Amino acid sequence: MDRFEYCSFELSPDESPVLKHSNVRLYDGENKSQFQRGELILTSHRLFWQKDITLCLALSYIQNAVEEAKSMFNLTAGRKIILYLSKAVPGKNLGPSATSAYDYVKLSFREGIQNEFLDALKSTVDAKIWTVQNKSAQQTKLREIKTRTGIVGIERNIVEKQKETSSNINNAFKDLNQLMSMAKEMVEISKNISNKIINRQGEITEDDSIEITVYLLVLSIEDPVTRTSCKNEDDYYQALGNELIAALIEPLTSAGGTMLLTDAYCRINRARGLELLSPEDLLNSCLALDKLPDSPIYLKTYSSGVKVLQLKSCEDASFVEKTYEIVSQNVFVTVEQFSRLASVSLVIAKHRLLLAETHGKLCRDQSIEGLRFYENKFLLEEN
């Protein structure tokens, strides 16, 4: 009997009634109980007994249900069904008895038993519909706790919020840790790829992805020079200058010997990744390049005020020759075309063309169609 609970006859949303049977008496084991002539209602989840009060038994308790064999001595007695039950779950709502010596109850049907009742009970128990709803039941329980008021309720709320926050933080940092461990792997992978590419340099095709990776390879500076690692400003700029040379000499060479200071700024900061340089620091370190012995690059200021880094090995004359070569292969070039043909930026392209013009290798055609540069036939035809 201790598995029964007091309750009101209210079905939960997922619960559905199955069968009713009137005039039923409950037995606690072999003992008659005070609950007689009540109505028995079977639902998908519970078994209700209802008269003045309502009792219910969760179907999850029922392990087996059998019909009691008729006693030879008591033929008048009604037929009975024995329900074998599992142990009472602690924390259930109050019931008619706190303890019971028996692990079974009997349902006594005074007016005889409907044949289908036992079958229906058995199949409902076997269906175990309540297990499906278990989760939502738990959630409603939690919600019930939350709505509790009073100091204990408030404290409980606070504790729960704290728990939630700490678990959130833990989750967040778990991600971060994952990222860190991933980062290590990524570095490994990139190193592997870079080694592979270096080994196979001869075979590199025009494949863009490889090209991009090659660009990426140019980018890493392992131990960037910082202000704090140097004794004074001069040392800092000279150290930066050395770093510039190391990082930029390759892109400078491949770019044809000239790079805009703005491009250099982007490249060096991308290479450093963290510990970014300010434009002033870059400019000062470029100025410090002159003080370095045998610096292969130097800072040059065009007449337009544009500053570029240039390889010392590339003299004006060689630029003029290259420019002339490109122009002579075309009838004429515009600055845009030249920038594409020589793969240099517009500013540098214009400067190269003007340089070749002042060297008398090119002449200009200024019209509504724009500025174009031609071979300088005025001087060339002469000879």
Partner 1 sequence: MSDVQWPWQYNFPPFFTLQPNEETRKKQLEAWRDLVLEYHKKTKTCIIDIQEADNTALFFNPAISRKLSPEGINAVLEVLYKNGNAEPIDKTKIRWYIYWHTLAEWADIFYQHAQENGLINSVCTLYELVNTPDKEFTGLSEEIVIKILERLQKDEKAELILTEDTSGVKFF
Q: Where does this chain bind partner 1 (CB under 8 A)?
A: 332, 357-358, 360, 363-367, 372, 374, 376-379, 381-382
Residue 372 C-beta: closest distance to partner 1, Å: 7
Instruction: Specify the residue, 258 or 376, whose C-beta has the smaller distance to partner 1.
Output: 376
Residue 267 C-beta: closest distance to partner 1, Å: 34
CA proximity to 305, closest of 274, 258, 261: 261
Crossing angle of helices 261-272/279-287, nearest 10°?
Answer: 110
Phi, psi dihedral angles at 312 (to 5 degrees): -70, -30
Residue 381 C-beta: closest distance to partner 1, Å: 7
What is the residue type of 110?
A: R
Instruction: Specify the residue, 240 or 362, whose C-beta has the smaller distance to partner 1.
Output: 362
Instruction: Specify the residue, 298 or 374, whose C-beta has the smaller distance to partner 1.
Output: 374
CA proximity to 287, closest of 261, 250, 269, 256: 261
Instruction: Specify the residue, 203 or 382, whose C-beta has the smaller distance to partner 1.
Output: 382
Tell me the residue ranges of DSSP E strands in 247-331: 258-260, 297-301, 307-311
Residue 323 C-beta: closest distance to partner 1, Å: 14
Residue 315 C-beta: closest distance to partner 1, Å: 19
Q: How many CB atoms lie within 10 A of CB 198?
A: 10
Instruction: Specify the residue, 164 or 365, whose C-beta has the smaller distance to partner 1.
Output: 365
Q: What is the CA radius of gyration of the chain?
A: 46
Six-digit token pair at 348?
């540098």
Instruction: Specify the residue, 151 or 368, whose C-beta has the smaller distance to partner 1.
Output: 368
Integer angstrom CA distances of residue 297 from 237, 251, 344: 15, 12, 17
| Residues whose CB is less than 8 angstroms from the CB of residue 57 and which lie 6 or more positions away in sequence, other chains included | 3, 4, 5, 46, 47, 49, 83, 85, 105
Residue 369 C-beta: closest distance to partner 1, Å: 8
The span from the CA of 300 to the CA of 344, in Å, is: 16
Residue 256 C-beta: closest distance to partner 1, Å: 23
Instruction: Specify the residue, 34 or 329, whose C-beta has the smaller distance to partner 1.
Output: 329
